[in-house]
Structure 1
Amino acid sequence: MFTAVSHEIVVSVEPSYLPEESDPDEHRYVWSYRVVIANHGRRAVQLMTRFWEITDANGIRRTVTGPGVVGQQPIIEPGEAFEYTSGCPLSTPSGIMSGSYRMVDDRGTALDVVIPAFSLDSPVAARTLN
């Protein structure tokens, strides 16, 4: 599990390789990732937008932006959490994702909340020690 904390919001991500949806012969590698966003602050927050940077093993980067997550812009009350699962295909057997959420608290203050960088590693990826 990968975790980051900003503005008393804890974001935890757990990626999983999906061999049943992947096809290495066709250069298709697919992961799911489960995200838990926990509000440890004193104010409710609403997740407004997402920003992802996805980098494959060849160093090719792409960004994904948009409103909310999985079609929702959840309000997360103090002491509560929101959880969702999404996915990411790559054409290489490994990569990395990172990003941020733009949230607004119940006073209208915008907060940029860090999503921790996490690796996407398939069982067919060559392991290299540096």
Structure 2
Amino acid sequence: MNETLTATEALPTEAEMRAAPATEYMSARQLAFFREKLIQERDALLDSAHRTTLHLQEFESTPDPSDRASLEEDHTLELRVRDRERKMLHKIDEALARIDNGSYGWCEDSGEPIGIPRLLARPTATLSVEAQEIHEARRKMRGG
């Protein structure tokens, strides 16, 4: 697992990731693929946050109370979305740290592989599908 990807090796495609044998699970190429995917997602979120900041700084004065209320509602919605994105940025940073420490791709509950299809769909996943289902069932039983 301490292999490193050389500059001449291309990142695998998503199709290659799905078709890879189990023996290649979390190889240097696969880790490089997920690192790049996470960095792209982080960059997109940071760009979106920057655009929101610029938009919120634009002063749009309107004397009409209903227009003002509508504008305030839009800003509130944008801020809520940005808060979710801020939480996602934290999860991305944690996933990148797991890539660095060698624990990425492994279920934090069972130690089993999370699986390429799940990581492609949710690269910040920390639990296998089975562990996630157990986690959600326990949460429902606790009522939260």
Q: Smaller-chain TM-score range?
A: under 0.3
Structure 2 length normalisation: TM-score? 0.22
Q: Based on CA coordinates, which of the two structures has the bigger radius of gyration?
A: 2
Higher relative contact order (CA 8 A, sep 6+): 1
Higher strand share: 1
Higher helix share: 2
